């Protein structure tokens, strides 16, 4: 069935999955209610808590990252509740859309694409009403911009409001400090910096969040976090067993490298990518550069046909990057450098871009 | 990490996953929004429709089967809607619980465990009110009993009510006739007769069902079927790519064998299992035998310590069966014979049971 080598995925998820993890995926199944599997889940959960830097509860969901978004919101929000959503891209907008779907009255704090929210501006809007929940994306995959969650957390934590942070495209590659930042729900997905295929999502739940969840009636079942808590480490439904085999191996690799080493490596790879892409005459989309993501880089087209360039890079060099989504299509392109991706792969990509530009 | 051979799974899901499918799971990833992957999804969808015997829309969800249950219910039910749930086990009860969670007024038609619903009895209860939705499990995994969905369908189809049928543990091993039976939502999961690991669920949606879905406001997002329809064959969220690689291979195997041959094989294996288990002096739990499932067999303990017996079979012969759940714990045990499981595996299991009984 394989007509050619799979492309090198320099996309912001799914990203390159190392051979060791692919191999773990094809391990013959054991039953998900058996001791051996439950011990693996428990062990993965404890190590994931270290990656999230949290002592809060943590659950493994069989869904995409959007499922974890829904879990946080549908367990907290009743119709009429007020939600403040910081929106600076498609994924932060998704959080506001989910809140609306579950009946919340959503105030959107729109931030221009390519920029991060300013804490002072946030504080002003936040103080104008009593919000039950604040939603913010740590690393907005749409624009490759990092929001100052630590500073937002300080503001929210002084109140009864809950803070939901989507760290889907940064957890495992950036320094996520769930507890220090006061994040009540921190979310991640398997197919980003954790080097896994898609299909698992992760959610942390603070004591403060449980207070709201315990009062919530109906309106959710598959993502009902109370059921996950009652059953833990077992899952109330059937877990995607083989993806957990992969997760176990991913966590082995993360702790063999060392979490802090790994975060530092991502910082260095990101700096290297930005430096090299600028050498080709491109400008970064994220402004100022201090808000640029350390797991992916968004690059302005600057008058070049970047869709055609991406196509040549894919066809000729078998390297896949991402374009801009929605309003940004053709205006930017994005290079993912997550998980197992290092300087070597970034250099291959830069080289392919450089050669492809000459064909435009 | 592997201390010993994985057990032969004679459980009602997850079930034995053939080597070919395990291998497909470890295929390097391609991007889920790319043509190659979307063609695979389209191709899997068309072949799954043949397995469901439907011309209705069909969607692949990244979730356990419970997610497909929630998709059907949360897209249809608004608070106060009337639902009639046929309940003869844990899984049919789960459907009624989900309906309750989403605000339905649920009437439960309880059928003694081990028995199937009687169409005349159903008709009487069904006609007592106007139900928006009827829920029924085709193959109740809790008791290994098959409900007469064809006959229930005839009754429901004369009205505006919708029929939701969970075929999670029978699709691909029994003769599911979604369209002929008039099933508006037919559900299945990956880890049963389809020989895959858990993590994918499938749902068919009839034109009649779309009528109700289109009128439904809010209350769901991840499982919002309208979004799946708009995006098809792409998925609105990120699909569990590697599980779709496995699904593609599973469908290759199903159509190499031939769907009708495969269904017939399941019938023969089930008959063989029931005959052999009775030879050991056991009685079947399903009564009359004509309602016994053809994908798993439930067996009465008849005074024997079947939990101990199962434990010996597992420890000494490395064969894993299922016990009874909840009220049936210790009272029955269950032998799954799904997907790739044939007479040979059933014979190995019967032999292990026979030997283990002598040690009780």
ipTM, two decimals, is 0.97
Do B327 and B312 belong together in one domain? yes
B62: closest CA of chain A, how far (Å): 5
Task: Look at residue A2 and tell me if it is in a domain.
Answer: no
The shortest CB-CB distance from B240 to any of A34, A74, A197 is to: A197
Q: What percent of chain B has pLDDT over 90?
A: 97
Do A121 and A189 belong together in one domain? yes
Do A209 and A265 belong together in one domain? no
Residue tagged 């690991």 (tokens): B197
Sequence-separated (6 or more) residues with CB below 8 Å from residue B317:
B348, B352, B355, B356
Domain edge (last residue) among B255, B282, B307: B255
Do A212 and A231 belong together in one domain? yes
Q: For an interface test with B, give the residue of A141, A222, A244, A336 to mutate (most B CBs within 10 A).
A: A222
Q: Is A23 on the interface with B (CB under 8 A)?
A: yes
**Chain B residues lying within 8 Å of A97, measured CB to CB:** 221
Mapping DSSP onto H, E and C, the string for A50-77 reads HHHCCCCEEEEEECCHHHHHHHHHHCCC
- Give me the mean pLDDT over the B151-177 stretch: 98
CATH number of the domain enclosing A295: 3.90.1150.10
Task: Look at residue A148 and tell me if it is in a domain.
Answer: yes
**Chain A residues lying within 8 Å of B221, measured CB to CB:** 66, 69-70, 74, 97-98, 101-102
**Confidence tier at B63 by pLDDT (50, 70, 90):** very high
Beta strand B332-336 pairing with B296-300: antiparallel
Q: For an interface test with B, give the residue of A79, A221, A335 to mutate (most B CBs within 10 A).
A: A221
Is there a contact between B29 and A23 if contact means CB atoms under 8 Å apart?
no
Do A148 and A66 belong together in one domain? yes
Task: Look at residue A132 and tell me if it is in a domain.
Answer: yes
**Helix A343-357, helix A259-279: angle, nearest 10:** 20
Do A249 and A307 belong together in one domain? no
How far, rounded to the nearest angstrom, does the alpha carbon of residue A20 sit from its chain's CA centroid? 22
Task: Look at residue B318 and tell me if it is in a domain.
Answer: yes
Residue A293 gets which letter from DSSP?
Answer: -
State the pLDDT at residue B2.
42
pLDDT over threshold 80, residue B299: yes
Which helix (DSSP H) or strand (DSSP E) does residue A175 occupy?
none
- Give me the mean pLDDT over the B48-76 stretch: 98
The shortest CB-CB distance from A197 to any of B17, B224, B241 is to: B241
**Chain A residues lying within 8 Å of B102, measured CB to CB:** 218-219, 221
Q: Would you say how long chain B is, in residues?
A: 360
CA dihedral B123, B125, B130, B132 (to 10 degrees): -80
Residue of B nearest to A198 (CA): B240
CATH number of the domain enclosing A163: 3.40.640.10
Task: Look at residue A40 and tell me if it is in a domain.
Answer: yes
Do B162 and B207 belong together in one domain? yes
For residue range A278-334, list pLDDT tens digits in order.
999 999 999 999 999 999 999 999 999 999 999 999 999 999 999 999 999 999 999
- Give me the mean pLDDT over the A93-110 stretch: 98
Do A251 and A263 belong together in one domain? no
Q: Is A231 on the interface with B (CB under 8 A)?
A: no
Q: Is A237 on the interface with B (CB under 8 A)?
A: yes
Sequence-separated (6 or more) residues with CB below 8 Å from residue B194:
B171, B172, B188, B247, B250, B254, B339
Residue B228 gets which letter from DSSP?
Answer: H
Residue A237 belongs to what domain range? Answer: 20-255
B158: closest CA of chain A, how far (Å): 30
Do B227 and B336 belong together in one domain? no
Do A250 and A327 belong together in one domain? no
pLDDT over threshold 90, residue A127: yes
State the pLDDT at residue A287.
97
**Chain A residues lying within 8 Å of B34, measured CB to CB:** 320
- Give me the mean pLDDT over the B250-265 stretch: 98
B322: closest CA of chain A, how far (Å): 10
ω into B233 cis (within 30 of 0): yes
For residue range B93-146, list pLDDT tens digits in order.
999 999 999 999 999 999 999 999 999 999 999 999 999 999 999 999 999 999
Residue of B nearest to A40 (CA): B1
Do A93 and A236 belong together in one domain? yes
- Give me the mean pLDDT over the B151-159 stretch: 98
A86: closest CA of chain B, how far (Å): 19
Domain edge (last residue) among B255, B286, B302: B255
Task: Look at residue A267 and tell me if it is in a domain.
Answer: yes
Mean pLDDT over all residues of chain B?
97
A39: closest CA of chain B, how far (Å): 13
Give me the number of domains chain A comprises.
2
For residue range B14-25, list pLDDT tens digits in order.
999 999 999 999
State the pLDDT at residue B1.
39
The shortest CB-CB distance from A26 to any of B23, B199, B237 is to: B23
The shortest CB-CB distance from A221 to any of B6, B17, B70 is to: B70
Task: Look at residue A264 and tell me if it is in a domain.
Answer: yes
For residue range A152-194, list pLDDT tens digits in order.
999 999 999 999 999 999 999 999 999 999 999 999 999 999 9
Domain edge (last residue) among B237, B255, B273: B255
B188: closest CA of chain A, how far (Å): 13
Residue of B nearest to A26 (CA): B22
pLDDT over threshold 50, residue A24: yes
Do B226 and B310 belong together in one domain? no
Task: Look at residue B25 and tell me if it is in a domain.
Answer: yes
């Amino acid at each position: 069935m394989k007509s050619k080598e799979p492309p090198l995925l320099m996309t912001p998820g799914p990203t390159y999955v190392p051979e060791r993890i692919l191999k773990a995926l094809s391990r013959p199944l054991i039953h998900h209610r058996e001791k051996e599997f439950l011990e693996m889940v428990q062990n993965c959960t404890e190590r994931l808590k270290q990656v999230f830097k949290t002592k809060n509860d943590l659950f493994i969901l069989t869904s995409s990252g959007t499922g974890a978004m829904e879990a946080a919101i549908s367990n907290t929000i009743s119709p009429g509740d007020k939600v403040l959503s910081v929106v600076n891209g498609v994924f932060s907008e998704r959080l506001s859309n989910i809140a609306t779907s579950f009946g919340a009255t959503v105030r959107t704090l729109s931030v221009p694409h390519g920029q991060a929210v300013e804490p002072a501006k946030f504080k002003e809007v936040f103080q104008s009403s009593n919000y039950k929940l604040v939603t913010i994306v740590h690393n907005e995959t749409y624009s490759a911009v990092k929001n100052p969650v630590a500073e937002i957390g300080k503001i929210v934590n002084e109140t009864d409001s809950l803070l939901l942070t989507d760290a889907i495209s940064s957890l495992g590659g950036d320094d996520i400090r769930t507890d220090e930042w006061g994040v009540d729900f921190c979310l991640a997905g398997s197919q980003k910096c954790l080097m896994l295929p898609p299909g698992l999502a992760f959610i942390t739940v603070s004591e403060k969040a449980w207070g709201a969840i315990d009062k919530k009636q109906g309106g959710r079942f598959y993502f009902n976090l109370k059921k996950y808590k009652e059953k833990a480490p077992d899952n109330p439904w059937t877990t995607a067993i083989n993806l957990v085999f992969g997760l176990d191996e991913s966590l082995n690799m993360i702790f063999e490298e060392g979490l802090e080493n790994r975060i530092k490596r991502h910082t260095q790879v990101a700096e290297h990518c930005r430096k090299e892409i600028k050498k080709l005459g491109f400008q970064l989309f994220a402004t100022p550069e201090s808000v640029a993501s350390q797991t992916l880089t968004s690059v302005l087209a600057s008058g070049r046909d970047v869709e055609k360039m991406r196509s040549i890079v894919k066809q000729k060099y078998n390297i896949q990057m991402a374009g801009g989504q929605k309003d940004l299509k053709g205006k930017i392109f994005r290079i993912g450098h997550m998980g197992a991706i290092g300087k070597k792969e970034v250099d291959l990509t830069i080289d392919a871009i450089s050669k492809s530009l000459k064909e435009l």
